[in-house]
A and B are shown apart, each in its own frame.
Chain A
Amino acid sequence: MKKNVDVSIPLGPVHPCWKEPVRLKCETSGERVLRTEVELGYMKKGIERIMRGRPWQEVMFLAERVCGICSVVHNMVFIEAMEGISGIAVPPRAAYLRVIVNELDRVASHILANFSYCYTIEHETLGMYLLNVRETVLDNLERITGSRINTAYMIPGGVRFDLTEADKAALLADLVKVEADMHRYVRMFETGPLIALRSKGIGIMSRERAIEAHAVGPTARASGLPESDLRLCHPTYQKLGFTPISRTEGDNFARIMIRFQEVFQSIDLIRKCVDRLGEGDSIRGGGFCGAGEITYRGEAPRGELTYYIKSDEYGRILDIAIRTPSIMNIEACAHYMITDATSVADVTSTFISSDPCIACNER
C-alpha cells in the first residue's frame, strides 16, 4: 500500500446500501478517497462452465439466470444469437412482441436502478414511489409472459404467448398511468435542491475515460457516447425509428436522468409496437438450431451485452462466453468515477449510480 494513504476503508460485502455482495476497498487520505479496489468472487457460480456441452433448450434457461433483473434481454440475445447461427426468421408480430417485453423489462430495470440511487442518498419517499410504479410494470410483464422475473418468453423463431386484446388494453391503460406518475417523480428529482447537491458534479467520468474502459449503456450515454446504444443496430428498432438519448455532464445526476428519460422513450416504443402488431398474426416460425459460431450483441438495460456462441449440428453449445454490461460499468465506476472523491459518503451513491449488477458481473 502506498505511503500517502491513511486508512483503507472496506465497504461490504454486507452493506445496507448494497443489494448484492461486493467489497470496495477505498484508500483514503483524510476524508478524501484516493483510489478504490473492487473485490469480487461472492457471486461466482461459473454459469459459462455449466453451459458448455448442454443443448440450447437447457442453456436458454441458464442464460436467463445470469441476471435476474434484466433476464428478458439475456433470453432475447441468446435466442437471437441462436437464430443468427441457424438462419431462422422471426415473424413480424413476434418481433414486435419481443420488443414490447424487452422494453417493459427495461422500464422495470431503470426504475429499480433509480430507486436504489434514491434509497442510497436517503430520499426514501421518492424511492418508494418509484418502487410502486415498478410493480405496475411487472404486472404487465406477468400478464403477457406469465412470470414476473424469469420469463423465458422468447424461443427460436418467435415467442411463447400472443398478446390478447384484453391484455393489450390493460397494457395501454397502465402505460398512461405509469407515464403520468413518472412525469411527476422526474420533476421531483430534477428540481429537488438537496438531490442536486448530492448528485451534480459528483463522480464525473469524461468521454475519453468512458472509451478507455469500454463503458456502455446509460453510464456511457451520460458521458456523451450516444453511439454506444446497440438498439441502433437491431432491425426491429430500426423499423421503429429509434434515436438514442445522451447527455454530456457525465456525473451522477446525468446518469439517473438518462434512465428517467429512457423510461419515457421505452413507453413510446411500446406504444409504437402495439400499433404495428397488426402486420401479421403468426407468432412462431419454424426451424432447427444448427452448427455455427457467432458473436452477437444486444442492448441490455445496463448496456451492451455480448454473447459468443459456438454450437454443433444438434444445437448443443460447445463454447460460450458472455460479456455483460456490468463488467465494464463497475470497472469504469471503481477506477474512474470514485478516484479523488471528496467523501466516503459519495462512494456508495456513485457506485449505485452506475447501476452495478454483481450477478451479471461474475456470472
Chain B
Amino acid sequence: MKYLYEKDLRQMKYNILTSTRHDMVVRQIARRLGIGEQKMRMILIRTFDMSLLENLEARYEMGLLHADTDDPVARKLGCELFTDFIPLVAPEAMQSIYEDVRTHIASGTQENSAIDEGLARIREVIR
C-alpha cells in the first residue's frame, strides 16, 4: 500500500484564489506591487498555507484599515501590510527597504521615484 502524506495542493489553493472576492484582492495586490496577476497567484500559492489564502481577503481589508495609519511613505510601501497583515516579506528585509527609501527621500530624490525603487526591491525579495 502506498502511503500518501504530502499531496500536491496547488490546484486546491488555486481554487481558493478564484473565488470572487479573493480574485479581486489578488488583482489589487498585484497591481499595487506591479507584478503580473498569474505570477502573483503563483507567489501566494508558494508562500502561504491554505488557511491563510482563505483569509487573504479579510486580512487585506484589515490591513487597509489599520496598517501604517500615521506614516504616508510606509503606507504607500505597505510596510505593515506586507509583513504583519499579509506576511509576504520578512520584517527585517522590509525594515531595511523602508530605511533606504527614507534616506533617498532625505537626500533629495523625488518621493514617488524613491517609493518605486522600494517597490522594485520588494518585488525582488518576494520572487
Contact = CB atoms under 8 A, between A and B. Distances in A.
Contacts of A331: 51-52, 54-55, 59
Interface string B72-101: 000000000000110000000000000000
Interface string B57-74: 111011000100000000
A212 B81 CA distance: 9
Q: Is the interface of B mostly helix, strand, loop or mixed?
A: helix
B49 A37 contact: yes
Interface residues of A, number: 26
Most buried by B among A37, A38, A40, A320: A40
Interface in A319-363: 319-321, 323, 327-328, 330-331, 334-335, 361-362
A240 interface: no
Given A44-B12, A212-B85, A328 B58 contact: yes
B50 interface: yes
A308 B50 contact: no
How extensive is the interface on chain B, given as a class? 20 to 34
A247 interface: no
Most buried by A among B9, B19, B51, B55: B51
Contacts of B52: 331, 335
Contact of B54 (A10, A212, A361): A361
Interface string A42-54: 0010101000000
Contact of B59 (A38, A212, A321, A330): A212
Q: Is the interface of A mostly helix, strand, loop or mixed?
A: mixed
A40 B12 CA distance: 8
A213 interface: yes
B51 A41 contact: no
A323 B57 CA distance: 9
Contacts of B57: 323
B12 to A, nearest CB: 4
17 contacts: A38-B50, A40-B54, A41-B9, A41-B50, A44-B15, A212-B85, A213-B59, A214-B62, A308-B20, A308-B21, A321-B20, A321-B21, A327-B54, A327-B55, A331-B51, A331-B52, A331-B55
Interface of A: 10, 37-41, 44, 46, 48, 211-214, 308, 319-321, 323, 327-328, 330-331, 334-335, 361-362
